[in-house]
Amino acid sequence: MSQSFFHDLMNPRSIAIVGANNNPSKMGTMHALSILKDGFTGKFFAIHPTETMVLGHPAYKSPLDLPEAPDLVMFVLPSKHLLPVFEAFGKIGTRFAIVITAGFKEAGEEGARLEEQLKDTAKQCGIRFVGPNCMGIVNRDVGLNTSVSPITGPGGPLSLISQSGTYVAQTVDYLQKRGIRLGKAVSLGNEADINIIDVLEYMGEDPGTKAISMYIESVRDVGRFLDVARKITPKKPIVAQYIGGSEAGGRAGLSHTGSMAGKDYLYDGLFRQAGIMRVFSVEDLYGIGWALATQPRIRGNRIAIITNSGGPGSAIADTLDALGCKVPPFSEGLQAKIKPLIPPHAPCGNPVDLTFALDMKVMTETIPDLVLESGEVDGVIMHGAMSTGFLGAAFPHLSALMPGVTYEDMVKGTIRDLGATVRVPFKHNMPMTVSAFFDRCDQYTETYEDHNVPVFDSPEKAARAMAAMVAYQHIQEREAEAPVLKLRPADTAVRILNEAAGRSQKALDEFSAKQLLSAYGIPVSRERLARTPEEALAAASAIGFPLVVKACDPEILHKTEQGLVHLNIKDADALTKAYNAIQDAVKKSDGRPVAVLIGEMVRGEREFLAGVTWDAQFGHCLAFGVGGIFTEAFNDIRYRVAPVSEPEARAMIRDIKHPKLLSAFRKMPAVNTNALSKILAILSLLPTLHPEIREIDINPLIISGADPVAVDALVILA
């Protein structure tokens, strides 16, 4: 695979900054200080119209005065002055830029016009750029920090891609207090040129990046995003927070970066399809991302809990259970090994509850070693490891019993070498997360964090991180992606659509819609059209009672709500009454009777829906979920970007909130999911075969015995 162009931007040998001066309150100066003070060893050039020296470095009035073309230039100057300077850097051969400057499309129409001019200028100059309206990039491999916040120390295996500059520039202190070290970070801003997919592609290739966290407000090229992410997620985990699915969030995103937010449920489907794990807070974006980046890959879902308190242990167990993990009871042999190490009354069957025992070596080394060596679990969650933090909290009381003893004196004897403690997960090649109510004031928390063992400030967060590792294991074990089905346009379908176009129809009638589906092998209910009572009786004779009787007209899209569907018609009299009732209810403008659909009454207790929707941002998307009259009540629908393969359709089917409906229960056989997945795969292709199809709705898709049958269908035309 060829190396992403973005590698060169993240590894410049020289940087120029336009807008830096000697005023520490100016953003340009703050950006320059980060470059100069945080470890970058390449060349630095300052551009300033009046200053001769900037931060101890010679300043140049124009890019044309520079002794050489810098690899990367940063712009921190008013937008109205940007373009001529940008063009000058193009003339001397600079290839990459970061435009920190704001006031472009996020600011309205005038800003949008200016952004288009910037894009045109960059294209003419051969410059690729990040921004505008961003906060820069970070690459700790080369000591590079172009943000406004100081970053010291080594980087870590987690990388961040953010459509918010704050999550790169203002979170340094927050992350340091939690032991989280970003190796690389990119703030994208308006993405006028380089976009989130370009950076994702680079992070996927980067050997130092073990996990990727993404803050997303909009993805413009959904198809390319899906292709790139799907190649990465089998090899390294991606965690994403999407903001903008609500009306308020969408407004905020538009004013923030000029992005157009999309429907939340479509983003949810996109992430599932790509193998991306979604989180709903920036705290989880960092914390779960860090756990995935640092811990050995988990091999199953059996988790051990070691705690010094029953409440947190129970909270961990409940959270794990809710997220699909197991907390298996330990074998008698393992319990016999643990029992002598803990108080006589303490539980040892998983969770292991030391009930406030203070022998931290037993809790953090001896017992975890026994548990992880046993082969009975796949990971461990520790709660309550503590020493100096607890003594600090207790010192005001204890000092009264020890006059003249300082806190430093008291804790001196508790400090010990924790090397064996922090090596536990890596020695056994199994993941561990830690829950602690003491921050880095405690030696255990500090040492765990400094040695890449993630520490969370609540039991539930530690459990969620472990569950995310299990979820990623499932992603890696997913059925291999396969090519989508190869179909040719069916003659019947072409004829039906051409006839509808000739009549300027906005939709197909139900009979035509089912004929179209049937032409591609989708099973539909047996039925005939009738335009007279005699034709209705003839159809009944051919199909057999009981029957369903419906109005059938391309202008009537929602029949049930208008009383135009009659079910379980058992004899000729009932059929005639139903036929006449429909005619009385529908008065066509030309006086002709409305066509009536006479169909078999398909029996089945389980009803699903399947279809294809259209979205301006996502294009055609496949939908599948619980259907029938309870569609809105259950709201159990999953989406995928179309077209999809049969393996992806199977994953989509298993992904619904009520998967037990697919299993054998109450004397009903398991659903034929292979047949169901083929229907979905075919549906997803139909708008590609026939661009005049805008949307398809099959509801209900009844499971008759074990097999799906489309008993109602609607095709909307573009």
Per DSSP, 477 falls in state T
- Tell me how far apart the alpha carbons of residues 525 and 628 are, in angstroms, rounded to a whole number: 16
- Tell me how far apart the alpha carbons of residues 84 and 62 are, in angstroms, rounded to a whole number: 10
Name the H helices within 404-458: 407-412, 419-422, 424-428, 443-450
- Tell me how far apart the alpha carbons of residues 52 and 691 are, in angstroms, rounded to a whole number: 63
* Kind and range of the H or E run holding 304: strand 303-307
**H and E: helices and strands count for the chain:** 28, 30
- Tell me how far apart the alpha carbons of residues 326 and 668 are, in angstroms, rounded to a whole number: 29
Q: Which two tokens stand for residue 129?
A: 């750029």
CA 94 to chain centre: 35
Q: Which two tokens stand for residue 348?
A: 């040892």
- Tell me how far apart the alpha carbons of residues 171 and 175 are, in angstroms, rounded to a whole number: 6
Q: What is the C-alpha R_g of the chain?
A: 32
Per DSSP, 366 falls in state I
Q: Three-state SS across 340-363?
A: HHCCCCCCCCCCEECCCCCCHHHH
Q: How far is CA 599 from CA 217, 549, 573, 702, in A?
A: 47, 6, 16, 14
- Tell me how far apart the alpha carbons of residues 568 and 150 are, in angstroms, rounded to a whole number: 73
- Tell me how far apart the alpha carbons of residues 315 and 335 are, in angstroms, rounded to a whole number: 22
- Tell me how far apart the alpha carbons of residues 641 and 622 are, in angstroms, rounded to a whole number: 6
Phi, psi of 414 (to 5 degrees): -90, -15
Task: Find, among 456, 369, 470, the residue nearest to 421 by Cα.
Answer: 369
Location of structure tokens 């690389």: 184
- Residue 235 CB coordination number (10 Å): 9
- Tell me how far apart the alpha carbons of residues 171 and 341 are, in angstroms, rounded to a whole number: 42
Task: Find, among 136, 142, 234, the residue nearest to 186 by Cα.
Answer: 136
pLDDT number for residue 399:
78
* CA distance from start to end of the chain: 39
Per DSSP, 301 falls in state S
- ∠ Cα 258 262 267 (to 5°): 125
Q: How far is CA 134 from CA 81, 82, 122, 227, in A?
A: 17, 15, 17, 26
- Tell me how far apart the alpha carbons of residues 588 and 585 are, in angstroms, rounded to a whole number: 10
- Tell me how far apart the alpha carbons of residues 229 and 162 are, in angstroms, rounded to a whole number: 15
User: 3-class SS at 635?
Assistant: coil
- Tell me how far apart the alpha carbons of residues 469 and 277 are, in angstroms, rounded to a whole number: 10
pLDDT number for residue 328:
98
Neighbour-count burial of 375, counting CB atoms closer than 10 A to its CB (0-12 exposed, 13-18 middle, 19+ buried): exposed
Task: Find, among 366, 368, 405, 412, the residue nearest to 387 by Cα.
Answer: 412
- Tell me how far apart the alpha carbons of residues 557 and 550 are, in angstroms, rounded to a whole number: 12
pLDDT number for residue 255:
40
All domains of the chain in start order, with CATH: 6-292 (3.40.50.261), 296-476 (3.40.50.261), 486-525+602-718 (3.30.470.20), 528-551+563-596 (3.30.1490.20)
* Kind and range of the H or E run holding 109: helix 109-125
pLDDT number for residue 252:
44
User: What are the mean pLDDT values of the chain's consecutive 10-residue runs (718 residues total)?
Assistant: 87 97 93 96 96 96 97 95 96 98 88 94 97 95 94 93 92 91 96 97 98 97 98 98 69 43 89 98 97 98 96 97 97 97 92 86 96 98 92 81 79 86 97 96 96 98 98 94 94 98 96 98 97 95 96 89 91 95 83 91 94 96 91 90 97 94 92 98 98 96 97 95
Q: How far is CA 273 from CA 365, 577, 695, in A?
A: 40, 49, 20
- Tell me how far apart the alpha carbons of residues 520 and 542 are, in angstroms, rounded to a whole number: 24
